[in-house]
Structure 1
């Protein structure tokens, strides 16, 4: 050690010392002394030459023999047995980490060559500490897909010990459906590209899968990655999506399509429960009915056998014990089915059910509205499973409450409408019967005054007016449209029955038709049949009276029973009534091929009751009436055109 030119001895970073081991009377090492050391030894240990040279380690560093690492015994074995050892060790007295190479070439003597690794050890420990305590999943892998190093978060989140993951291929843990996307991400990493915000599913030790979101960066053949468990976020997103779908279904549901079992199944999906029941309170509040149940069908059947009755449709008496347990909470989480024990549900039976289906906690979520509690979802969880998406479940229960209230209101309204329609039908039936009686009396009276042309005509006019009303009420009574009907169908019956009141009916050919443009709007499909022209009952009645007057006038004056067809050289008497229903206007044309109107006819100054009534009723429709006539032999006849807005508000 006296060779001052030795490069190791002169190294500014390598400490070097020469020692002799000291043995007790039993030949066991109990101390060692410093025989020589270089300047770097002094710098790395802080021991000055004049204070340590030719002194023992127990003198220089008192208490060293009591430390966790037995330096004296370790070096003594090398000095006595020979050989060499290399190791890293922390020196408690010096407060430093050293990497030491110790060897012996002569019994009882040994040499140590060492460097100070304290700073690198601190950095490593800090890195290891960060790696260990980080809440994120951290790992180092290679581009072939092997885990090289993982942190403790993997054990906490997925249940695997670090040694179970290290040197395993991470593809072994990826969900089969996510393998193609994962292989694509690995290909990018192999090409040196970063992969950010990539999500796949990893299998936990219990067999379930969790959503993991990755941020990975390649460096050479290694991949450094940090990931987070986003299962809760994904579950919440899926719950919100199911909630939106459920809201759409509830919004479109009607009394006839409301599916109670589907309601319970949605509650199961949102909550994670295995079985569920929808209980609805009766209006009197003294009982409730299990309206629907959902779960594994075979298990539902088994439960029915054990109970001795089906749960769906079961009515239960008000249970104060159950209500006391639930209290005013929106959602109550109970440890077991036994928590709902009551006089109607004994503890021993609850235990049998829980054991048969391996049940754990029970959740009851109230279905409420501003007016009170309508019922609840009672949800049964398999052992070890817990309620998820509680907020979404409570929101859904509120949506179900609103929908149930709407459905019940619609059902009540439908009952009221049916009662109203029944009453209205009865009223219409009685009016029709009264009209029949009046028409019959007028017919009898007309028969008794036969021969008195003026009186007979008056009675026939009144009878035809009653007849038009009678036909209208008869059609309203026989159809489901009690507040209106088809104009075409109404006129088909009305015109023919009015014509039949007159003696000349047998020789008049009657045509009642819809015009080619009937009920077509501007964008109507010409290839499809037109829709019927519908009017409310009030306007239908007014139109009926107008057409009645015009047809009556035609039969009285165009085809009088004392005028033969030969008088005008008319092969056949013809009466035509045409309905034209356009986009904004409805037109009714009443045409005959009689002699035409007198030259002196002026509808504006006519004193005839029938003409005056037509003018007045057309005014009620906000319409117009136009008379056209010709007395020429080749084109004689009369046409009356009534036009009024299709929309009653115009």
Structure 2
């Protein structure tokens, strides 16, 4: 290509959406194309003569230096990402392609601003997380729903079988919930259910898992029962926590719960069998007056 033709092309470098950067071995910018203003927020003359590390995000300097050394030794680097601090203080996500020029003894790199794509990716990931949470949690209490609870029980039973330990299930039904809900309205009922979920969480161990599976029914996975009384101890603790007075818009209420227990593998080998056993035990507790645990 003739030099005059190259000069003609150079006149249109400002049309490039990307920025072409030439950097020496000391990591100093020797040439930056006009696209730098769009990518970095700095004009070329503000960058030329300065170290690239003056602009690189502090958390990315170490990795950027390592990649720069790879290019200096002749490796071609494609699709390397790092972050730069723009002139306005914002963070730019940059996608680089670079190679070493033996003739010029310089690194030549092309920088593309992918900040918007990164933001869209983050928003999409956040949306997926929210959708997953909506699919696996109870909207009112924030507790796991039946789907997530079943999955946790399956995992726990597999682990218990491997380790040779027992696990337990608790089935809870709030006493006289229908009366409170019908008398004072659904808003009060919802407040009561939220409070019940919080009290259950506060009473169980960190290794246990609680879920709301419908209406005023809650279940608890009691993981790794290591003593004969461990399951009933957790259930009694929940009973005690639930019976404390609760302030509601219309006044103070005393919430109680009937709780049934089941042990794996003694009372069932499947989730359905365990829940059925615990459910029957819960109804025995309710028929005995409620606010108690039945096994």
Greater Cα radius of gyration, structure 1 or 2: 1
TM-score of the aligned structures, taking structure 2 as reference length = 0.48
TM-score of the aligned structures, taking structure 1 as reference length = 0.23
